[in-house]
């Protein structure tokens, strides 16, 4: 039987690491003492096995644990559960990476649009994609509409809701906001000849998100955003199955689990269907390193069976002035998401947005 190979960082001394790895294998597969198990199928195919263990540095080891494919089935939520369910609560354990056998990859579809679909939708062939966020939470629909128009007229590609902007009563109802902002980007696109997309933030439980998605479909919305770790990976995957437009994955709540960023953002969120994956960029107000960011961006675009590449979307405290550096780091198959650095321009928001757009175009032409 093909096996899922998962890699963990374990804090331990050399004398105890094998026992700890075996404890993880048992906990994540059968979650009970092995002695009473007498079913041949369970013994041979379900109980996880410990593979190679290598020392990383003082007190830390990398261990491979192999799981049976049948423990997952076609359920992406169960995949997360098998990889790092109960053991996410163990001290000194972090999941680093996973390799999935071809048979399982074939059942998990990944992005429906990916990098190529986003480019086709925008009509942008080579340069990086520009994006921004409507803020702050608490703004009225009229205020967000003013910001949206200025950003759209500045030539941005994608304008998304901030993840804190949901269906808030009475000042910013979803059913009022989405039609108004969609009309705005449609009108500016028609007038300027530059395609601008508005991506609403879907929120609430899955049933509510599906209702919101239906409204988006009725209004001609061409991209949406949702938070996979807040709503649950399986629910996100179910949302993707009902969504006929690209979907951005927002990283909120993603730091609440000890999962290596390269794995979570570079592979797992791609696996559950995110077409664009927002993550916190190095050098901003969050703590991911340059090495982690470049590794996860590379993983999101790397060949991986039948899974389409997803577009990395660095964000979080970025500035217009860093555009040349960021494009040199990530390359053209990237969506740069800059929010606060544009919004702090106040009445000069349109001009500041245009500067961002021009900088991306200039760097792309120079590259």
Averaged pLDDT for residues 16-33? 97
pLDDT of residue 58: 87
Range of lowest pLDDT (44-53, 164-173, 207-216, 268-277): 164-173
Residue 7 near residue 56, CB atoms below 8 Å: no
Residue 363 predicted with pLDDT over 80: yes
Please report the domains of the chain, with CATH numbers, ordered by start residue: 3-107 (3.30.70.150), 114-366 (3.20.20.110)
The overall average pLDDT reported for the chain is 95
| φ, ψ of residue 197 in degrees (nearest 5) | -115, 135
- Say how far apart CA 366 and CA 351 lie, in whole Å: 22
| pLDDT computed for residue 1 by the predictor | 58
Mean pLDDT of 337-354: 97
Residues 320, 7: Cα–Cα separation, whole Å: 38
* pLDDT for the residue numbered 169: 81
Cα gap 250→269, rounded to integer Å:
10
Q: According to the model, what pLDDT value does residue 170 have?
A: 83
Q: Is the pLDDT of residue 29 over 80?
A: yes
d(CA 270, CA 249): 9
Model pLDDT, residue 317 = 83
For residue range 212-271, list pLDDT tens digits in order. 999 999 999 999 999 999 999 999 999 999 999 999 999 999 986 789 999 999 999 999
The single-letter DSSP state of residue 46 is: I
| pTM summary value | 0.95
Residue 87, CA distances (Å) to 22, 99, 112, 228 in order: 12, 18, 31, 20
């Amino acid at each position: 039987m093909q096996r899922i190979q998962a890699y963990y960082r374990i804090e331990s001394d050399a004398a105890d690491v094998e026992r700890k790895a075996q404890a993880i294998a048992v906990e994540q597969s059968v979650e009970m003492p092995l002695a009473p198990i007498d079913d041949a199928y369970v013994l041979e195919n379900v109980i996880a096995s410990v593979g190679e263990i290598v020392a990383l540095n003082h007190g830390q080891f990398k261990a491979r644990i192999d799981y049976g494919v049948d423990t997952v089935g076609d359920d992406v939520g169960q995949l997360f559960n098998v990889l790092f369910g109960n053991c996410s609560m163990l001290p000194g354990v972090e999941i680093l990476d996973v390799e999935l056998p071809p048979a399982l990859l074939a059942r998990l579809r990944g992005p429906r649009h990916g990098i190529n679909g986003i480019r086709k939708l925008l009509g942008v062939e080579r340069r990086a994609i520009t994006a921004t966020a409507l803020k702050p939470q608490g703004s009225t629909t009229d205020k967000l509409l003013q910001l949206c128009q200025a950003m759209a007229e500045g030539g941005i590609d994608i304008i998304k809701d901030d993840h804190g902007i949901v269906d808030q009563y009475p000042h910013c109802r979803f059913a009022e906001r989405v039609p108004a902002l969609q009309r705005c980007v449609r009108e500016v696109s028609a007038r300027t000849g530059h395609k601008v997309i508005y991506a609403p933030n879907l929120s609430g439980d899955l049933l509510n998100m599906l209702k919101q998605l239906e409204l988006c479909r009725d209004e001609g919305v061409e991209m949406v955003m949702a938070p996979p770790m807040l709503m649950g990976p399986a629910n996100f995957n179910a949302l993707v199955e009902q969504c006929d437009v690209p979907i951005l994955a927002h990283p909120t709540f993603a730091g609440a689990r000890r999962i290596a960023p390269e794995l979570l953002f570079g592979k797992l969120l791609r696996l559950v269907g995110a077409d664009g994956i927002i993550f916190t960029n190095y050098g901003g107000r969050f703590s991911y390193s340059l090495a982690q960011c470049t590794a996860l961006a590379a993983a999101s675009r790397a060949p991986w069976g039948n899974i389409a590449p997803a577009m990395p979307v660095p964000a979080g405290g970025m500035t217009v002035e860093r555009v040349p550096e960021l494009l040199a780091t990530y390359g053209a198959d990237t969506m740069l998401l800059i929010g606060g650095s544009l919004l702090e321009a106040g009445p000069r928001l349109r001009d500041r947005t245009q500067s961002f757009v021009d900088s991306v175009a200039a760097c792309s032409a120079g590259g």
